[in-house]
Amino acid sequence: MPATTENNQGSFLGRISIRRNQVLSMDGTHDQEMEDLELFQKHVADRFSELLSSTTEDSSGDALLSISWLRRLLDEFLCCEAEFKAVMLMGRDPSQIAKPPLDKLLPEFLDRVVKSLDICNAVTLGLDAVKNLQRLAEIAVAALDTTPLGDGQVRRAKKALAGLIAAMLHEDNANAKGTERNRSFGRRSGNNAGSNSKDRVRSLSWTMARNWSAAKQIHAMMSNLNAPRGAEASGLAQPIYIMSTVLVFVMWALVAAVPCQERNGLGTHFPLPRQLAWAQPMISLQEKIAEEWKKKEKKGNVGLLEEMQRMEKLGQSLVDFAESFQFPPETERLDEVKKQVEELGEICKRMDEGLEPMQQQIREVFHRVVRSRTEFLVVLDQAGKLSAPTV
C-alpha cells in the first residue's frame, strides 16, 4: 500500500474515532457525519483514480489486470473496507443501523459478502491453475535457453508449449460447448502434454459445486444494487451502496482476470450512476476491462490476466518456430527467438514472485470480510434486543 494511502486511511480512522467519542450537539454530530461520508467517497474516488491512471500504455509495471495491478486493487479494497466499517460501526449506537432503510440494505450487503466468499475460493483455485501454466512455460524456457539449440530441446519445448496453449484455450471453449466437466482431482485422460495440462486446469479451477457459475454469482451480487435516492442519498445508505459497488467491481475484475468456473456472460456491465464523482474512475476501468473481454471471448481464453495474455502470444509464436525448426537454425530467426524466450522467462519470474502473495491477499480479503460480517451481525443483534418489548 502506498505510504500516502496508508497515512490517509490512518488519519481518517483516527478522525472518526475522536469524533465519535466527543459529546456533541445533534446538529454538530450530523454535520460532522456528513463530512465523514463525503471524505469516505473522496477516498474511494482517489483510490480508483490511481488504479485507472496506472493502466496507461507507458505504465509497464501496472498494466490493467496484471498481477501487480490486481494486488494494488486488493490493497485498495481492504482500505475501503476498513473505512466503511469505521463509518458504519465505530462508536455508533446499534439502533442507528437497524432503522429503515438500513434494516433492508445492510442484510442485502451482507448477503453479497457471503457470495463474494465463493468467488474468493474460486479465484484462489484458479491461481493454482495459473501456476501450472507457469510451470509449462518454464519448461519451454529452460529447453530453448540452451546453446547450441538442437532438435531434442526444441521437441521438449514444443511439447510443453502445446500443452500450455491447449490448456489456456480449454476452459471457455468447454463452457461454450457445454462439455461435461471432469471434477475428479488430479485425474488424467491422456499421455500427451496438452491433455494433461487441460486436466490440471480443470482439476484446480473446477472443484466448486457442479452447477456453480462465477458469472451467475456476480450477477446475483448485482441484484438490487440500486443507488439511494432522495434523503437516503445523504445518509448511511450511501456508504452501503458505495461499498457494495466496490465489492462487486473487485470480484468482477478478479473473475475476468483469473480462470474460474463458468464465466460466460461475465462481460455484462453493471449499472453505475455516471453523475456520482466517486463512480467515474470505476466506470472507466469497467469499460476498459469489458472491451478486453469482448476481444477475447470469441476465441476462448482462460482469463484476461495480463501475464497470461503475453504468455499465450509468445507461446504461439514459439510453437510456430518449433514446428518449422531445422538444424542449424538461421541466425536472424534464432536472435528473435532468444528475445521471446527472455520475455517469457521474465513473465514466469513475475508470476513466481506475485502469484503466491496475491493468493495470500485474497485469503486476507476472505477473512477480513468474514470478520466484518460477524461484527455487523453482532450489532444488528444488539439493536434487535434493544428494540424488543420488555415483558
Amino acid occupying residue 20: R
Smallest CA-to-CA distance from 208 within 255, 253, 173 is with: 255
Smallest CA-to-CA distance from 171 within 90, 285, 105, 266 is with: 266
> What is the pLDDT tens value at each position of the chain, 391 positions in all?
555 556 556 566 766 655 555 544 444 467 788 899 999 999 999 999 999 998 865 545 589 999 999 999 999 999 999 999 999 998 888 888 888 999 999 999 999 999 999 999 999 999 999 999 999 999 999 999 988 889 999 999 999 999 999 988 764 444 434 333 333 223 333 344 444 544 444 444 445 788 899 999 999 999 999 999 988 888 999 999 999 999 999 999 999 999 988 888 887 667 788 889 999 999 999 999 988 888 876 554 578 999 999 999 999 999 999 998 888 878 888 999 999 999 999 999 999 999 999 999 999 999 999 999 999 999 999 988 877 665 4
Rg of the Cα atoms in the chain: 24
| pLDDT at res. 186 | 32
What is the distance between the alpha carbons of residues 125 and 87, in angstroms, rounded to a whole number? 33
CB crowding 360-375: b at 16 or more within 10 Å, else e: ebbeebbeebeebbee
What is the distance between the alpha carbons of residues 74 and 266, in angstroms, rounded to a whole number? 20
Task: Judge whether 196 and 170 are in contact, CB under 8 Å.
Answer: no
What is the distance between the alpha carbons of residues 262 and 132, in angstroms, rounded to a whole number? 20
| pLDDT at res. 255 | 95
Task: Judge whether 17 and 91 are in contact, CB under 8 Å.
Answer: yes
* Helix ranges, 258-330 (H): 280-297, 306-323
Amino acid occupying residue 387: S
Task: Judge whether 162 and 340 are in contact, CB under 8 Å.
Answer: no
The C-alpha cell 471471448 sits at 297
